Amino acid sequence: MKIASVAEIKSQFSAFLKASETGPVVVTRNGRAVAVIVGVQDEDEIERLLMAYSPHLRAILERSRQQFREGQWLGEEEFWPQFEQAPAPEETAKPKGNKAERKRRRS
């Protein structure tokens, strides 16, 4: 892991991008961490990273955890029949909106 100031990042951005391929680069401002540059291998990794910081997904997970804590969950015997009866998603359906709109909706 490398640590660099905003000024260093500005002056040597390409070098720090290259360095992020081997490990995270922590960016500091006035001695305090403000960002991390993380190298990614493929689009799936980017998707996972974006989803990890999605307020919408976090809210869904928290509701699920709360329901579980309150005993509001399906046992295996109840889950599978419901899963098998659920309609399959249409694989040919294309997402609506342009690329920027879809990206905004994911976050």
The tens digit of pLDDT for each residue in 84-107 reads: 887 776 654 555 556 666 566 555
Domains recognised in the chain with CATH numbers: 2-37 (3.40.1620.10), 42-84 (no CATH)
Structure tokens at 21: 């391929």
Mind listing the pLDDT tens digit for each residue in 2-36? 899 999 999 999 999 999 999 999 999 999 999 99
Separation CA 8–CA 1 (nearest Å): 15
pTM of full prediction above 0.75:
no
CA distance 43 to 94: 18
